[in-house]
Structure 1
Amino acid sequence: MKRSLGMAAVVVLIMALIAGCGGNNNQASNEGGTNAAAGNNTDAGNTGNTSGKKDITLTYIASQGWIKDAEMTLAKKFEEETGIRIDYQIVPADQYFNVLKTKLNAKEATDLFGGQSGQSEISLNYNVEKNAVDLSGEEWVQREDPLSIEQLTLNGKVYAQTIWDTGSSFVIVYNKQIFEKLGLSIPKTYEEFKAICKAISDSGVTPLYEPIADGWHHTLWFAEPGPRYDEVTPNLYNDLNANKKKFADDPTMLLALNQLKEIYDLGYFGDNAFSDTGADSAAKMASGQFAMTLAAQSLVNDIEKADPNVKADGFGYFVIPLADNQIYYINPGGPSKFIYSGSEHIEEAKQYLAYLAKPENLQYMLDNDPTVSNLNFSGLKDKYNPEQKKMMATYTKKGTDIQDYVNYVNPQWMDMGKDIVAMLSNAMKPEEVLTSIDKRRADMAAVAKDPAWTK
């Protein structure tokens, strides 16, 4: 999901972007590059210009890993057809939201900006009613997954476009050969999962590769099994949104955090989890030194690329079994494209989004992006492998993960990650992590003037 930048380029890029808040929005990052070409604008989307090519550059700021190569190829084709150039400005993930907020607050945002979806996210972090363009009338809205559109809607208006593999959630990718050698099977409870980890550890293999250094990844262990929390305590999600219950009140959330800490304390994440990074996941799994990792389902393709002798079909999937979870959690949101309300090129930006959302272009992105198995639009041909189909048949009950349903969770994702690190380091107790989440939720609700918190 992430691609690396040289450290020097990162520093220069961040300084350039922050300086760009003063007015110049045409800075291009080393990763995004320049997409210049020529041509005419025939069939460039429903809002296309019929009078000939335009000499316009649309600047687009996004977090590292959000813009895939297939989209960049389409951007070049779009320029060939319309003359409208897309200038990507890619920012390292751990710096992105600070840079974006600086630009939005200074009223100097780029023509398009990337952001995570989610109603509380788009309201609090991006203030879309002020900073983004209403896209409700665009044709592609009718073809995008309604659950994704719901995450982009505020007070009845749609403010962004999500093109993402929202159905292929982060799951535990496991080495089938190691499991078969040790006589292990997919766990249905936490105790079974813990026993599997012990058996693998006793065999001399590290059970789990967990890239805590990325700052965000380990939060998935707590957040993704959200539907299980809602199952054990019926209506929990709605009660949290109505401020009738708190995270600190829920025994299943506390259980999951305690179990996560137990897995860590038992050494099942290995000796270097705090310094391990997601960029190394494929190579680590290909090495055979680790038996499992929590990852995007496309990781199996990267593993085979890392070592062609290790085949993608040698890996299977199962859901995070903390708190005995057996629900396939769905994330209907994802990185999304917003048009800045202060842009001088709103119609051209709409034209670009319409172009990306054309069925043949969506299929091109799906077919040419090895990290996705499907996209959240109707009428596309998916690429689910046999193990994915097996997993989906195994976990017939599905539910939305907690960060995409419960308000004021996703905006504090990185802070939750810091709290969990503190918990694993014995600087915080699991109970304190939940209390900390509640405190930030209350603070955000106050800013949003949420009536559930003010009444």
Structure 2
Amino acid sequence: MKKSMWMLTVIALVAIIAAGCGGGNTGSSGNSASPAGSTNSGTGSTSGTKQNITLTYLASQGWIKDAEMQLAKKFEAETGIRIDYQIVPSDQYFNVLKTKLNAGEATDLFGGQSGKSEISLNYNVEKNAVDLSAEEWVKREDPLSIEQLTLNGKVYAQTIWDTGSSFVIAYNKKIFEEHGLSIPKTYEEFKALSQKLLDAGITPLYEPIADGWHHVLWFAEPGPRYDEVTPGLYDDLNANKKKFVDDPTMKLALDQLKEMYDLGFMGDNAFSDTGADSAVKMASGKYAMTLAAQSIVNDIEKADPNVKADQFGYFVIPLADNQIYYINPGGPSKFIYSGSKHIDEAKQYLAYLAQPENLQYMLDNDPTISNLNFPGLKDKYNEEQKKLMATYTKKGTDIQDYVNYVNPQWMDMGKDLVAMMGNAMTSEDVLKSIDKRRADMANVAKDPAWAK
């Protein structure tokens, strides 16, 4: 086991022990920030009476940004309600969350990915989460995001996320110009330019496989391309009329991903590389591209002020010759645990975060986002992002947010892809494995499409 992975495992175990000792509502220590803001759950308006309450909040690493923590401090100053954030490494988070939910010891608030199959199977929200349908902010949140949080007509979480700025390939324009390269429109063009970079001593891609989840994006995000090549594929998958292993375009994309790894386009240390190092690695000039959130350009400039954000451009993942801009209307979301003793206070906090001025504060003070999924906000799209959206006029929803029983198996898919890259599985094996897990989840959910 790589040293970095070993360290993450140790950190996760410590987090599990600390969270277990703290219980669901006692405010045990973790990454904490003082929240504030006694708000009315329906309107988000502040009340005049301060309370002395701590809300515990379990979340995955990277989901709670500094801007939210600052709002939490303001919320605490106004209301006396403190938020105790308990942060768990991303590769261990869902196991920790499931353990706590199954034991009936979840925190007052817990984070989770949105998506119908995710919220029903992984979190069993009808049992474990509070119905938030009547909250005022539900009417303002992007309907596509709300749809991903709705089960049997009830809304169970709040998503405040940059759902429009998809993960794309950020590339160093200076390196491309120096080597006479242009944005690829096909996989073969992408392969040719990557080989040219490698021959010139530049690693084409920085890919943080060690995080366990990131490399799955290469397969899942171009989902609209699979549906384009085989019209109706998404709907047929949801109706159990087709399987992943039946689709030649999915297999092609996986074979191309494997070829990229085998040719050395991801460098020698991809299995141990982490997302936390992406900006520094890209700022070094030793890598030409990385698949990342579009805000990475700001992190790169921060890592090295001599490397400016406008030195980078964007293009979509070209596997299977994809030229569709894939959209992810979901994202990390906030659920209130049904067993919490402080449900009203947790609703106050969600209402506070969703106030327009606080949403704009998060947008203005979070360099990792360009917009949020609520109306009336002033976005921060840079010129290259505007060019990206103008270039790829055809848009579609990525596979994990449309096709059932995909998002809940994300980390397992990551393990399968690692096995494929290491020659322990074939692309066909990976697709069969995805199908098997989908069938298992569908049977647990008593999905009528699988009851044949």
Q: TM-score range by the shorter chain?
A: over 0.9
**Contact persistence 1:45–1:352 (CA under 8 A):** no
The equivalent residue for 1:326 is 323
1:375 to 360, 372, 385: 372
Root-mean-square deviation (Å): 1.7
What is the total number of aligned residue pairs between the two structures? 446
Which of residues 145, 156, 159 is equivalent to 1:159?
Answer: 156
Give the 3 Å change call, closer, same or farther, for CA 361–451 of structure 1 in structure 2: same
Q: Indicate the residue corresponding to 1:28 in structure 2.
A: 29
Runs of 4+ in 1 over 4 A off after TM superposition: 5-11, 40-45
Conservation of the 8 A alpha-carbon contact between 1:34 and 1:88: yes
Partner of 1:106: 103
Q: 1:251 to 1:58 in 2, by over 3 A?
A: same
Q: TM-score, normalised by structure 2?
A: 0.95
Partner of 1:97: 94
Q: Flag the 1:450–1:7 CA change in 2: closer, same or farther, 3 A.
A: closer
Q: Does 1:386 align with 2:386?
A: no
Match of 1:17 in 2: 19
Residues 217-296 of structure 1: matches in 2 within 5 Å?
217-296=214-293
**SS of 1:344 mapped into structure 2:** coil
Residue identity matched to 2:183: I
Tell me how far apart the structure 2 counterparts of residues 396 and 254 of structure 1 sit (CA, whole Å): 26
Secondary structure (helix, strand or coil) at the match of 1:174 reads strand
Alpha-carbon separation, structure 2, partners of 1:241 and 1:28:
42
Residues in 2 aligned to 1:9 and 1:423: alpha-carbon distance in whole angstroms: 28
Q: Over residues 130-181 of structure 1, what are the superposed CA-to-partner deviations in whole Å (9 max), with x where a residue is unaligned?
A: 1111111111111111110010000111100000001111100000001111
Going from structure 1 to structure 2, the CA distance change for 1:196 and 1:82 (only over 3 Å counts) comes to same
Offset of 1:53 from its aligned partner? 1.1
Q: Do the aligned partners of 2:42 and 2:136 also contact (CA within 8 Å) in 1?
A: no
- The SS at the match of 2:110 is strand
Any idea what SS the aligned residue of 2:58 has? strand
Counterpart secondary structure, 1:336: strand
Once residues 228 and 13 of structure 1 are traced to their aligned partners in structure 2, the CA distance between those partners, rounded to angstroms, is: 40
Please tell me the residue identity of whatever aligns with 2:133: S
Residue pair 1:44, 1:78 contacting (<8 A) in 2 also: no
Of the three residues 198, 201, 209, the one matched with 2:198 is: 201
Cα distance change, pair 451–199 in 1 and its aligned pair in 2 (3 A): same
In structure 2, distance between residues paired with 1:45 and 1:323 = 47
SS of the equivalent of 1:248 reads helix
> 1: CA distance between counterparts of 2:304 and 2:391?
29
Relative to 1, partners in 2 of residues 1:301 and 1:50: Cα closer, same or farther, differing over 3 Å? closer
Superposition map of 1:82-161 within 5 A:
82-161=79-158
How much does 1:43 deviate? 8.0
Cα distance, 1:24–1:381 mapped onto 2, change above 3 Å: closer
Question: Could you say which residue in structure 1 is the equivalent of 2:3?
Answer: none
Tell me how far apart the structure 2 counterparts of residues 43 and 125 of structure 1 sit (CA, whole Å): 30
- For residues 50 and 336 of structure 2, the distance between their equivalents in structure 1, rounded to whole angstroms, comes to 21
1:82-113 CA distances to partner (integer Å, 9 max, x unpaired)? 11111111111122111111111111111111
1:440 pairs with 429, 434, 437, which one?
A: 437
Which residues of structure 1 form unaligned runs of 5+? none
Please give the alpha-carbon distance, in whole angstroms, between the structure 1 residues aligned to 2:282 and 2:357: 34
What secondary structure sits across from 1:12 in the alignment?
A: helix
1:445–1:300 CA distance, 2 compared to 1 (3 A): same
Mapped partners of 1:380, 1:437: distance in 2: 39
Q: Distance in 2 between matches of 1:304 and 1:7?
A: 31
- C-alpha separation between the residues in 2 aligned to 1:344 and 1:73? 24
Alignment partners' CA distance in 2, 1:151 and 1:7: 30
TM-score scaled by length of structure 1: 0.95
Q: 1:304 to 1:34 in 2, by over 3 A?
A: closer
* Superimposed CA distance per residue, residues 368-400 of structure 1 (whole angstroms, 9 cap, x where no aligned partner): 000000001011010000000000000000000
Offset at 1:79? Answer: 1.1
CA distance in 1, matches of 2:149, 2:38: 29
Greater displacement, 340-349 / 144-153: 340-349
**Letter aligned with residue 28 of structure 1:** S
Structure 1 equivalent of residue 57 of structure 2: 60
Q: Between 251-260 and 76-85, report the one with greater CA deviation.
A: 76-85
What's the offset of the Cα at 1:20? 3.9
Residue deviations 1:11-54 (CA, integer Å, cap 9, x gap): 43221123445x6642121xx224177xx848897255645111
- Structure 2 counterpart of 1:306: 303
Match of 1:423 in 2: 420
Q: Percent same amino acid at aligned positions?
A: 81
